């Protein structure tokens, strides 16, 4: 892939419409070297004391309040602050 093609592809990804974002959400993490890159990024973050919790853009767009509630619940669970 030439630098020009790469530059155009990057610009197109940055300007995606909502349907394009929904179509590509999550799928991009399943192709090419992305799964391995995600694993390596997660390991690096874990080594820094951080945990990864992924929320699909599709879920955030469909119900932002539920997405936030899920993040809060996961966070409280991980901090052992959620009552049993």
- Show the low-confidence residues of the chain (pLDDT under 50): none
The confidence score (pLDDT) of residue 83 equals: 65
Q: What is the pLDDT of residue 43?
A: 95
pLDDT at 84: 63
Q: pTM higher than 0.75, yes or no? A: no
- Residue 13 DSSP SS3: helix
Domains of the chain, by residue range, sit at 18-78
> What is the per-residue burial (b if ≥16 Cβ within 10 Å, else e) of 17-31?
eeeeeeeebeeeeee
* Nearest Cα residue to 30 out of 56, 49, 4, 53: 56
Can you give the pLDDT at residue 12?
Answer: 79
């Amino acid at each position: 892939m030439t630098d020009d093609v790469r530059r155009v592809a990057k610009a197109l990804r940055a300007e995606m419409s909502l349907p394009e974002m929904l179509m590509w959400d999550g799928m991009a993490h399943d192709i090419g070297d992305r799964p391995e890159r995600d694993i390596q990024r997660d390991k690096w973050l874990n080594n820094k004391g951080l945990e990864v919790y992924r929320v699909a853009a599709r879920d955030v767009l469909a119900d932002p309040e539920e997405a936030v509630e899920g993040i809060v619940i996961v966070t409280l669970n991980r901090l052992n602050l959620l009552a049993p």
